[in-house]
A = this chain, B = another copy of it.
Amino acid sequence: MNFVNNHILSVSQFDLPAINQVFSVADRMVPYVNRQRVTRVLEGCILGNMFFEPSTRTRVSFGCAFNLLGGEVRETTEVRASAIVKGESFYDTARVLSGYSDVIVMRHKIEGSVEEFASASRVPVLNGGDGANEHPSQALLDLYTIRKEMAGQGKGIDNLRIALIGDLRYGRAVHSLCKLLTLYSNVHFTLISPPELSLGDEYISAMRGAGHKVVESMDLYAGISHADILYVTRTQEERFPTREEADLYRGLFRLNQSIYTEYCEPNTVIMHPLPRDSRDDANELDSDLNENPNLAIFRQTDNGVLIRMALFALILNVENQIEDTARDVNWHTRRSSESGGTP
């Protein structure tokens, strides 16, 4: 896979060498995210951070990653106010906006919209999420987190035992992660969801076809008992036909510290694509897990910045120039000693 000047629209574009290339560049971004070093490699370069569906977290993460490379960010969060509501096609929007920046991140709730946009764009486009379809940087940061967490235990991704829990039907993060994990060897998937929210057959067939073991279950306690990774999800209520239907499933599987202690192996890592729903009737990951050192959910979002920096660097072909313009940070930086800090 050649990254330079290419769109990143789907995890399906990635094979193992491409993934390893992204992860290798991401590793080299650590001193910049940890605020030991500053680089200006993209000084003068402009990101068009075009979010036509709201997402504070993802939008700020992409913007931050670009700033950390020294670039500038122009953005939009105007969902209802854009020219699209005046009847403008994605083709036109893309042709216009691609004249304003060097690379674009786009999010829109319509599935396939980002691909349509990219086909008309004159600069590379990174899919920041198109409805229930794709969100490739999320899948890459999840996989990168798994690799890092497992490496800390002397393991790899091959032979991984992962339990996926919750809304496996509407959660695009789950879909994309399953696709990427399928590229590895001998992964053991335990899928824990109500039947109505189970993972689509096409995913399961692909996983089994590639030689992985897939077990479906509604038994949370059995399912989490022999896992390296628990990947917990929120009920994606905004993707359900009605709010009432979503309410039926919220809070069905809940994890807290006492369940963890009783059923999980000591080093089982807990992940979540976030946001976690902490309201009483949901609370899929109780706050009493916050001091659990295996709770990796904030390491995931920290890793997201590394992954997004790597993708930008590869697309713009500056991954070998990062250090040329770098210097030490001259301001007082974040409390690196705090729990939960960048690992």
Contact = CB atoms under 8 A, between A and B. Distances in A.
Contacts of A256: none
A342 B99 contact: yes
A66 to B, nearest CB: 9
Contacts of A44: 38-40, 68, 70, 329
A233 interface: no
A262 interface: no
Per assembly, the copies of the chain total 3
Nearest to A313: B331
Interface in A1-33: 4-5, 33
A1 to B, nearest CB: 15
Q: Which 6 A-B pairs have the closest CB atoms?
A: A54-B81, A38-B44, A87-B277, A83-B275, A88-B275, A317-B332
A42 interface: yes
Interface string A101-119: 1100000000000000000
Interface residues of A, number: 84
Given A316-B331, A332-B316, A278 B73 contact: no
Interface of A: 4-5, 33, 35, 38-46, 48, 54-57, 59-61, 63-64, 67-68, 70, 72-74, 76-79, 81-83, 86-89, 91-92, 95-102, 122-123, 234, 237, 274-279, 282, 287, 290, 297-298, 301-302, 305, 315-318, 321, 329-335, 338, 340-342
Contacts of A297: 92
Contact of A287 (B78, B91, B341): B91
Given A5-B332, A301-B99, A88 B122 contact: no
Contacts of A330: 41, 318, 321
Nearest to A280: B87
Contacts of A64: 46, 74, 100-101
Contacts of A234: 86-87
A278 B290 CA distance: 49
Contacts of A74: 60, 63-64, 67, 73
7 contacts: A5-B335, A33-B99, A39-B44, A57-B96, A86-B277, A95-B298, A321-B330
A330 B35 CA distance: 23
A334 B45 CA distance: 11
A60 to B, nearest CB: 5
A275 B87 CA distance: 8
A195 B54 CA distance: 42
Q: Which of A315, A316, A331 has the most CB of B within 10 A?
A: A331
Contacts of A76: 56, 59-60, 77
